[in-house]
Amino acid sequence: MQKLASQGIDYLMHEILESLQPVITQSTHVRIDESSLERFCQKILRERPKIPSWNYQHHFYDGTEKTVAYLLVLDSLNFCFWPEPSWEIVHKNEKFSGYPALAVALKRAIEEGIPIGDADFLSTVSLETLSHIFRGNGHLPLLERRLDILHELGTVLKTQYQGQAHYLIEAAQGSAIKLIQRLVTDFPSFRDEALYKRHRVLLRKRAQIFVADLHGSFEGKRWGEFHDIGQLTIFADYVLPQVLRQLGILQYSPSLAERVDHYETIEASSPEEVEIRAHTIWAVELLRRRLTPIGLNLRAFELDWILWNMGQEPTYEAKPHHRTRTIFY
Question: 12: domain range?
Answer: 5-317
Please check whether residue 248 is in contact with residue 194, taking contact to mean a CB–CB distance below 8 angstroms. no
49 within a domain of the structure (yes/no): yes
Number of structural domains (the chain) is: 1
322 within a domain of the structure (yes/no): no
Backbone angles phi, psi at 95, to 5 degrees: -90, 140
Kindly compute the dihedral angle of the four CA atoms of residues 180, 186, 203, 50, in this order, to the nearest 10 degrees. -40
Provide the annotated active-site residues. Answer: 237
Smallest CA-to-CA distance from 136 within 205, 66, 88, 78 is with: 88
Backbone angles phi, psi at 106, to 5 degrees: -70, -35
The whole-model pTM stands at 0.94
Positions of the chain with pLDDT lower than 70, given as ranges = 1-11
**pLDDT score, position 10:** 53
For β-strands 88-91 and 250-252, DSSP reports them as unpaired
**pLDDT score, position 11:** 61
